[in-house]
Structure 1
Amino acid sequence: MLRRLEALLAVANKESSLIITGNGDVIQPEDDLIAIGSGGPYAQSAARALLDKHRSLSKRNR
């Protein structure tokens, strides 16, 4: 019998991004960045760097 499901499900639409755990918990990540799996921390770091760069470029163009 399955006792514990250790899984993560990434769910997103145009308005928000969420992570649903195997226990049924719903997590709203910071900055709507979702990265799961073995390379998750690396992917999240890269995405955060791109967002930060994009935000600074947008501020310069104003």
Structure 2
Amino acid sequence: MIVLTSDGAIRESSEAAIDKVSASSSSRSSVTNGRLRVARLSVTLLLVELVVESVLLVAID
């Protein structure tokens, strides 16, 4: 909400400013969560690859 202050300046109310900050922090946290999800998936895929290669090496020998 935009308010008119006593000196004639037009400013956003503190509620709107707080909403903007929380929206920006939630978008940052979703980016962080996305990166964390990608990192977990990468580690999982590396472990799966290691297990599959180990099984194949044992099967070949």
Whether these two folds match at TM > 0.5 is no
Which of the two has greater strand per residue? 1
- What TM-score comes out, normalization by structure 2 length? 0.39
Select the structure with the greater relative contact order (CA < 8 A; seq sep ≥ 6). 1
- What TM-score comes out, normalization by structure 1 length? 0.39
Which of the two has greater helix per residue? 2
